[in-house]
Amino acid sequence: MEVQRQEMIWEMRTAETAFVERLSSVVSLFIIPLRIQTTKTWIAGVPLEIAKVLDWLEDIVNLHTQIRDTLQSFQTQEIPFADISEHQDHDRVGVAYTLRSFVPRFEIYQPYLVKLSGVLEILERLVGDNGSDFGEFVRLQEKTPECRASFGNMLLEPADRVATYPGLFQKFLDVTPKDHKEYLPTLMLVHATTLVVKTLQTVKAREEEYELIKSISERIDGLPTATNLARRDRRLLCHGQLLSLDLHQHLRNSNSRWTPNAKAINTPNRTNRLVDAINDWDTRRSRSGSVKSNNSASTGVSFRSVETSSPPPPPQVMVLVFSDLVVLATTRFSLRESSNQIPQEQQGLERWTVCEDIGVTRVLEVHEIDSNVTDAAGLSHTSKLIQSLNPCT
């Protein structure tokens, strides 16, 4: 078992050394040439967003250089076995204990991970622009023999690398006997690294969600002045498209087509229940309602499909389901009329208008009824939610 553990330490050392060498090539190719000599000041023409990411990348390189040096100090040609030689300086401080001291510093990855996707989009645009001086610089550097990959792919490597550490340290724990003096430090190393990496990924996902909501909210007309959709404490649970039908006409058409023994065409899910609730609320107010589209939201939540015999297709309604709000809006302008997905800001200039009366709605109450019922349209539900909705003003 000790031989396996020593081999694992050697593998970590080798992998860290190779990783630092690859990152160092990014520094020599794309950072140093763009800085004023012997300073950290960027020359004119470097986009601010890219400059910030490269500054953070340099901090990441410095961190992993120290991790590499630490691992190399534990295993040398003179002392090939870490932790077990009585003559080495690290006899009282083992590999896992030392590595754990670096884990809190992984927080320097946070701004890098959050901004990376946006910077990659900027980089792709500039590289494709023949009139961009920065894009021309990147194209020239990518053609050099020292450049092993595209600049964008090289920037992605730290994000991929940091995600591997929990599994890497878990393998280290698996080859460490429980009676080994380094077992407890190794166990703590695994838990600490897993927690930090999970936090990095969670914050990244929430920041991306926040930017998406901010982009969409800027293109929704008619939002109440007091409603600020883009808040970091507000979660976007799902989003997608519904079809807006005349409820009373739809019920008349459904009654002529459906029989009491009609087969169910849907398995209820969270979003189906939301749509049922909107229709239930709408029926009580005798107003137009929202029914389901057979298109899936990008989060993977599906909407039930309902047949309609109306010759003109019903208008689509965008739905945003937040942790505390539901937003319904009709499309005013779209560059991709056939698309049923909400695009990122760079993918279109879509604009929406908030639906009247229930365009911005709070869910006040939820009651679940576990029974087999058939609604007025002839649709069978194994589980249906009746929700109290209150329009926000």
- Lowest-confidence range among 102-111, 117-126, 204-213, 378-387? 378-387
The reply to whether 229 and 202 lie within a common domain is no
Task: Give the residue from 348, 213, 346, 361 showing the smallest Cα distance to 278.
Answer: 361
Cα–Cα distance between 45 and 34 in angstroms, integer? Answer: 9
- Decide which of 380 and 324 is more confident: 324
List the structure tokens of 281: 């609320």
List the structure tokens of 36: 């004023």
Alpha helices in the chain (DSSP H): 2-26, 48-74, 95-100, 109-127, 133-142, 151-162, 165-174, 183-217, 247-257, 270-285
The reply to whether 95 and 131 lie within a common domain is yes
Among 217, 240, 256, the domain boundary falls at 217
The reply to whether 239 and 384 lie within a common domain is yes
Among 161, 195, 217, the domain boundary falls at 217
Percent of the chain at pLDDT > 90 equals 44
Q: How confident is the model at residue 373 (pLDDT cuts 50, 70, 90)?
A: low
The reply to whether 171 and 267 lie within a common domain is no
The string of pLDDT tens digits covering residues 258-271 is: 555 544 444 445 44
The reply to whether 79 and 190 lie within a common domain is yes
* Mean pLDDT estimate for the chain: 78
The reply to whether 182 and 266 lie within a common domain is no
Interaxial angle between packed helices 48-74 and 109-127, expressed in degrees from 0 to 180 and rounded to the nearest 10: 130
Q: Number of folded domains in the chain? A: 2
Task: Give the residue from 244, 342, 346 showing the smallest Cα distance to 296.
Answer: 342
The reply to whether 231 and 200 lie within a common domain is no
Average pLDDT on 306-327 reads: 74
The reply to whether 212 and 249 lie within a common domain is no
Among 154, 189, 217, the domain boundary falls at 217
The reply to whether 197 and 252 lie within a common domain is no
Q: What is the CATH number of the domain that holds 165?
A: 1.20.900.10
Q: What is the pLDDT of residue 368?
A: 65
The reply to whether 336 and 195 lie within a common domain is no
The string of pLDDT tens digits covering residues 292-308 is: 444 444 444 444 445 55
Q: What is the pLDDT of residue 218?
A: 87
Rg (CA), the chain: 28
The reply to whether 235 and 113 lie within a common domain is no
Domain that holds residue 112: 2-217
- Decide which of 335 and 229 is more confident: 229
Query: What's the pTM value of the predicted model, to 2 decimals?
Result: 0.68
Task: Give the residue from 111, 23, 32, 5 showing the smallest Cα distance to 67.
Answer: 23
Q: How confident is the model at residue 212 (pLDDT cuts 50, 70, 90)?
A: confident
The reply to whether 113 and 234 lie within a common domain is no
Bridge-based pairing state of the strands 316-322 and 236-245 = antiparallel
Q: Is residue 290 within 8 Å of 279, Cβ to Cβ?
A: yes
Q: With 50 as the cut, is the pLDDT of residue 86 above it? A: no
The string of pLDDT tens digits covering residues 55-64 is: 999 999 999 9
244, β-bridge pairs: 290
Q: What is the pLDDT of residue 309?
A: 52
Residue 104 DSSP label: G
